[in-house]
Structure 1
Amino acid sequence: MKRLIMCAGTAAVLLAGSAPATATEASDRPMASASFNDTVLAVVHHAGRVYAGGEFSYAFQSGRRLERHHLAATTTDGELTGFAPEVDGPVHALATDGRHLYAAGRFRAVDGVERRRLARFSLDTGELDPDFTVRVDALPRALEVHGDTLYLGGDFHTVDGQPRERLAAVSTDDGSLLPDFAPRFDQAVRTIDATNHRVYVGGGFTAVNGTAARNLAAVDPRDGSLVAGFAPRARGVVHDLDVSGPRVYAATGGPGGRVHAFESDGVTAWERAADGDVAAVTVRDGVVYAGGHFTKVCEGGEVDDRGDCLGVTEERQKFMAVTTENALRAWNPHADSVMGALTIASGDDVLVAGGDFLTFAAGTVRQRGLALFPS
């Protein structure tokens, strides 16, 4: 698990403190927890466990350095678990179906067994699933489980030797490729969020199945046909999506990043700009949490050619929170680093973020790579 022109219904954008709180919030200081020696690129939560994937080779817990090669797990209290598969390359995406953990990335082997770019692990035992052997010819950047289907998106052109242009679906039962689902995207897919009737897809593409569709689209989960009733205007590359209620929330790149809220027909409900890419988004208890490379968010929806806000700004170092009606909240963990936050997920009583940050609270709290915010 990551999304602005203001429309008439959102003309009265509220700055932090201008309206009473309407939703509970996560803490803006991360708890003391396991951290990592390099970037965390993907996080997912399930049943009291937080799974993290990325470029790291070590985890740190209570002063100890423990080997964790690109994939690890903690409790929601931040304690490192014994889950420690040997993955020989970076993990870019994670997903779970409740029984398994799926991992995708630039690896070639897991625990000494050949697994190119995609692998599955038992959540009960932590062991590599020997029967799941889906073959992908290039990097999968996004994973999404819905029902008994695993959707994968990325740079690839074939799955199990069959043509699949950057989006595919396999069965979670046996890993078999679903033959009727074969949409064609002209550029990489970066994020997926599926519902019963639509598969929402984000990236930097300009066409789906030969029809113009820029950065964000919806396809039919049965045959991959483009959903004509969803025609959003996402003005930058879509890095992350979260569908909540009737709306689709998107995190986009720049110049200047944005959090978009789209209605089910693609009409913009609202959008909020920042002075850098927004890379991750999740919705929790009426609050939209977003992370990225930005240092300021804009009162209005416009930025200049350099990506700087036009007009009034509010400092938000790599993270921001707005209500689902676009009222900016005071929440500001104040993380460091250039890239900042790259992934966000919500679960139980914790908000989880991954990235290349080293500190929070203006440098006073050290927490590298992974941050767990209690709520």
Structure 2
Amino acid sequence: MVLSLTLGLTQTIQAQIPNEPLETFVVTDGQVNALAINSNMLYFGGQFNFVGARTGSGVPVTATTGQAEAVYPSINGDVFTAVNDGQGGWFVGGSFSVAGGFLRTNLVHIRSDRTVDPNWAPVVAGGRVYSLILSAGTLYVGGGFTNVSGQTRNRLAALDSSSGALLSWNPNANSNVRTMALTSSNMYIGGEFTTLGAQTRNHIGAVDLTMGQLAAWNPGAGDWVYAMTLSAGHLYVGGYFTSMSGQSRGYAASFDLSTGSLDSWNPGASSDVWALDAYQNVIFMGGLFTAAGGSNRTNIAAVDATTGLATSWDARLSINSGGSWVTALKVYSNALYVGGIFQSIGGQPREMAAALDLTTANATAWDAKVNLQAWAFAGAGNTLYLGGQFGAAGCVTRTNLAAFDLLSGRVTSWSPSVAVRNGVPVNAMVIASNALFIGGYFNTVGGLTRSNLASLDLNTGAVLDWSPNPYNATIYSLATWSDRLFVGGTFNNISGIAQNYFAEFDLSTLMLTGWNPFVSGFVQAMAVDGDTLYIGGNFGTVSGQTRRRVATFDLTSETLTSWDAGLTTGQFVDAITVSSGKVYLGGYFSVINGSNRTNFVALDASTAQVLPLVANCDQPIYALAASSNYVFLGGNFRLINGQSRPFLVALDANANALTSWIPGPDQYPKSLRVQGNTLYSGGWFLHAGGETTISLAAFPLGLMGNPYIVTNSMQRPVSSAPQFRLVALGIPQASVLGSTNLNNWQLLQSVPLVDGNGQFVDTDSTTRPKRFYRISVP
């Protein structure tokens, strides 16, 4: 059979928005509340310390410095485990769908040349992969999955490490497997399960290595087992339990493997133990505790493997204001690698991952600079595969304010710092007169005193000579029109003048103007459309007239208009956007101009008439954005019109309907912005569209660049159908057409795309002596 690839592009109807955000973007280690864009530069503010370009959640780094390698396959979700493949590469498991452009469900083989093995592709479905062990050509897999390569495998499976073929080993756990440990005859298993092989095994058990037959050993843990390690003929376990084999054991215990009996070893951790590793006669423990081995130890300890008493080794992990813990430990290359939530350990600032000296507990020079916790370390020579829930390695310090170049895909050197008060420092930003104006709740910017409102040079980040000092207040909203800057918040005094909640500055002089519309309550949102200013908040009167929660002004005359949304039941309006003659309001309300509209409403911009677009949300909305076709809503809701749509949705503004788009972030956005063909979202989420993209995400609203067939991906395995990979960024599916003469084309298959990547298999090719292929995209 003759195979040929060609590319054809067909524009048809408006494409559906893909659920997955763009892979090339930026992430932080905290919350993003405000976004602003100037040309190709994205400015963002909130409460964070680390910023980095997305690398994916699995990165090979040097074992000495933590520097990430330049080329490797990016993984779009979380990595919970990795193991050396014995040839300089790794098997990697977690919760993901794409690795290096290949569709891979929760398990992937990365070869020593840092490419994805194209022929090793078991599909591990139904749950995450938490644990991997490689032995004698067999890869043992544990996790929360229920199916492997189309066959039932409940939480445990074994694969041929060369071919990926599923083996007969099938212990069958009834809930998550979190950890495994291998001896010459048995696989020891820990987790959340209560049965193995349909027999009672409370959170811990053992099976043989051939078929997964259950061993008689049945110690029974009082609660979940999360970690295991082997040392000198003993099995050490950690978890949530306070009893083991019917005896009191505080979150850690050990067994003599020659007899299977519980040892007297009892380090008595004060709370959960989530990670273990052994070195000589020492057991390293990590988790969420304040004491272990009879000594005060914060979340990480070294205890004697015989007595259980703490050694003098003390990592001195400091507790963050939001909490700290340790999730991963690995002894490798004369150091202990540590992953978790922390900002200081071993006497040095280290964010989320560190390496400690095995003797002194001091932090080494190794610093991977990841923005969220590491879960996995797997060594291969002088390289360490680092996996976790981070979105970026090699991050840089940026204190609550940063800039990202959308063209180069890099964090810029623009770096003014904003000091934290008791709240989120940056809530609002707007660009005008080659300056970035920021508002929030802070007291210094760039080392200079600036209370809650400041301006910075767009190019240098220098703090400009403007200090209106809204006294003891939070700034929630900023907007501009012509040569005017509008400020909304909770203040009663600004620039030394008594003025409540709303103020106007002349941009040429940065002085207050004389306009005071006398708003009776906080201003939390603003939008300008033409010569009209919309404000929203929790006020009841404006300029002496009743205007509940929302009002409009004619900016040419600086007068209140007659436009009245008639909000009669509700606490606040927190978001406003205007598009194509329609005003969209979001917040916490239920009745607008006599119509029931829960937390969202669309109004006519001229008459304030309630429009037929209905999206009743079960919780408040905090952010809105609109394009020519869509209205985007972000908030704390889970249901829209009774349908499950958590935190972020798109409405079809033309069809007046909820779209099928489900990006599913795990927390709500606080800021949304449409610029060009992209929706930008900021908040405090860890994932969106099944991808690890912490606090920031960019969603394409249409095809980006030219789609293509990956020419070197064309394969035709023996007695199998030809197949190839295709890429079309910004759309959820593409069509593959076939022809035998390049004139007459027929649809062969609509290929679903994940992150713009898809796999086509021509199951009909055996009836054709030759075939050409091309892609059609909407």
TM-score, normalisation: structure 2 = 0.40
Match of 1:249 in 2: 284
Residue deviations 1:50-88, cap 9 Å, x none?
11111101112xxxx210001001124422113211111
**Which amino acid letter does the alignment assign opposite residue 236 of structure 1?**
S
Moved more, 343-352 or 44-53: 343-352
Once the 2 structures are TM-superposed, how far is the Cα of residue 185 of structure 1 from its aligned partner? Answer: 0.6
1:286 maps to 2:334: yes
Residue deviations 1:166-224, cap 9 Å, x none?
11111113322111x11111010001112352110011110111111111110122453
1:263 maps to 2:296: no
Answer yes or no: is the 8 Å Cα contact 1:249–1:259 preserved in 2.
Answer: yes
**Structure 1: which 5+ residue stretches go unaligned?**
1-23, 300-313, 370-375
Instruction: Return the match for 1:218 from 254, 258, 272.
Output: 254
Change in CA separation of 1:328 and 1:196 when aligned onto 2, cut-off 3 Å: closer
Once the 2 structures are TM-superposed, how far is the Cα of residue 44 of structure 1 from its aligned partner? Answer: 1.3
Distance 1:153 1:68 in 2: 26
Distance 1:287 1:336 in 2: 21
Match of 1:14 in 2: none
Residue deviations 1:250-308, cap 9 Å, x none?
22225795321111221111232243211111112321111112122264xxxxxxxxx
Answer yes or no: is the 8 Å Cα contact 1:193–1:200 preserved in 2.
Answer: yes
Answer yes or no: is the 8 Å Cα contact 2:219–2:244 preserved in 1.
Answer: yes
1:208 maps to 2:236: no
What are the within-5 Å matches in structure 2 for residues 28-67 of structure 1? Answer: 28-31=66-69, 32-48=71-87, 49-60=89-100, 65-67=101-103
Instruction: Return the match for 1:155 from 188, 192, 213.
Output: 192
Match of 2:510 in 1: none
Match of 2:417 in 1: none
**Which amino acid letter does the alignment assign opposite residue 90 of structure 2?**
V
Question: Alignment length, in residue pairs?
Answer: 321
Instruction: Return the match for 1:137 from 160, 170, 174.
Output: 174
Match of 1:334 in 2: 369
Change in CA separation of 1:291 and 1:182 when aligned onto 2, cut-off 3 Å: same
Answer yes or no: is the 8 Å Cα contact 2:191–2:226 preserved in 1.
Answer: yes
**Structure 2: which 5+ residue stretches go unaligned?**
1-61, 291-296, 397-409, 412-690, 693-778
Match of 1:173 in 2: 210
1:116 maps to 2:154: yes
**Which amino acid letter does the alignment assign opposite residue 266 of structure 1?**
G
Instruction: Return the match for 2:132 from 94, 98, 114.
Output: 94
Answer yes or no: is the 8 Å Cα contact 1:262–1:268 preserved in 2.
Answer: yes
Once the 2 structures are TM-superposed, how far is the Cα of residue 25 of structure 1 from its aligned partner? Answer: 4.9
**Which amino acid letter does the alignment assign opposite residue 114 of structure 1?**
T
Distance 1:349 1:332 in 2: 15
Residue deviations 1:124-162, cap 9 Å, x none?
322111x21211111111111122211110011111122
Answer yes or no: is the 8 Å Cα contact 2:371–2:392 preserved in 1.
Answer: yes
Match of 1:21 in 2: none
Answer yes or no: is the 8 Å Cα contact 1:183–1:223 preserved in 2.
Answer: no
Answer yes or no: is the 8 Å Cα contact 1:236–1:257 preserved in 2.
Answer: no
Residue deviations 1:301-351, cap 9 Å, x none?
xxxxxxxxxxxxx310111111111122232211113xx211222333321
Match of 1:317 in 2: 351
Residue deviations 1:14-70, cap 9 Å, x none?
xxxxxxxxxx9523112131121111111111312311111101112xxxx210001
Match of 2:229 in 1: 193
Change in CA separation of 1:196 and 1:182 when aligned onto 2, cut-off 3 Å: farther
Answer yes or no: is the 8 Å Cα contact 1:274–1:298 preserved in 2.
Answer: no
Answer yes or no: is the 8 Å Cα contact 2:243–2:250 preserved in 1.
Answer: yes
Answer yes or no: is the 8 Å Cα contact 1:258–1:271 preserved in 2.
Answer: no
**Which amino acid letter does the alignment assign opposite residue 56 of structure 1?**
F
Runs of 4+ in structure 1 deviating by more than 4 angstroms, as ranges, are 254-257
Change in CA separation of 1:222 and 1:137 when aligned onto 2, cut-off 3 Å: farther
Answer yes or no: is the 8 Å Cα contact 1:191–1:240 preserved in 2.
Answer: yes
Instruction: Give the secondary-structure state (helix, strand or coil) at the position aligned to 1:190.
Output: strand
Change in CA separation of 1:358 and 1:284 when aligned onto 2, cut-off 3 Å: same
Distance 2:135 2:207 in 1: 13
Distance 1:235 1:35 in 2: 38
Instruction: Give the secondary-structure state (helix, strand or coil) at the position aligned to 1:30.
Output: coil
Answer yes or no: is the 8 Å Cα contact 1:316–1:334 preserved in 2.
Answer: yes
Answer yes or no: is the 8 Å Cα contact 1:251–1:259 preserved in 2.
Answer: yes
Answer yes or no: is the 8 Å Cα contact 2:102–2:116 preserved in 1.
Answer: no
Match of 1:297 in 2: 345
Distance 2:393 2:95 in 1: 21
Answer yes or no: is the 8 Å Cα contact 1:203–1:216 preserved in 2.
Answer: yes
Distance 1:274 1:100 in 2: 40
1:232 maps to 2:267: yes
Distance 1:26 1:250 in 2: 23
Distance 1:77 1:292 in 2: 29
Aligned sequence identity (%):
26
Change in CA separation of 1:316 and 1:44 when aligned onto 2, cut-off 3 Å: same
Match of 1:343 in 2: 376
Match of 1:164 in 2: 201
Distance 2:231 2:335 in 1: 21
Distance 1:124 1:271 in 2: 42
**Which amino acid letter does the alignment assign opposite residue 153 of structure 1?**
G
Answer yes or no: is the 8 Å Cα contact 2:202–2:222 preserved in 1.
Answer: yes
Distance 1:100 1:334 in 2: 34
Distance 1:107 1:351 in 2: 26
**Which amino acid letter does the alignment assign opposite residue 95 of structure 1?**
I
Distance 1:78 1:240 in 2: 28
Answer yes or no: is the 8 Å Cα contact 1:96–1:145 preserved in 2.
Answer: no
Answer yes or no: is the 8 Å Cα contact 1:68–1:86 preserved in 2.
Answer: yes
Match of 1:373 in 2: none
Instruction: Give the secondary-structure state (helix, strand or coil) at the position aligned to 2:124.
Output: coil
Distance 1:224 1:318 in 2: 36
Moved more, 49-58 or 214-223: 214-223
**Which amino acid letter does the alignment assign opposite residue 228 of structure 2?**
I
Distance 1:266 1:329 in 2: 26
1:184 maps to 2:220: yes
TM-score, normalisation: structure 1 = 0.80
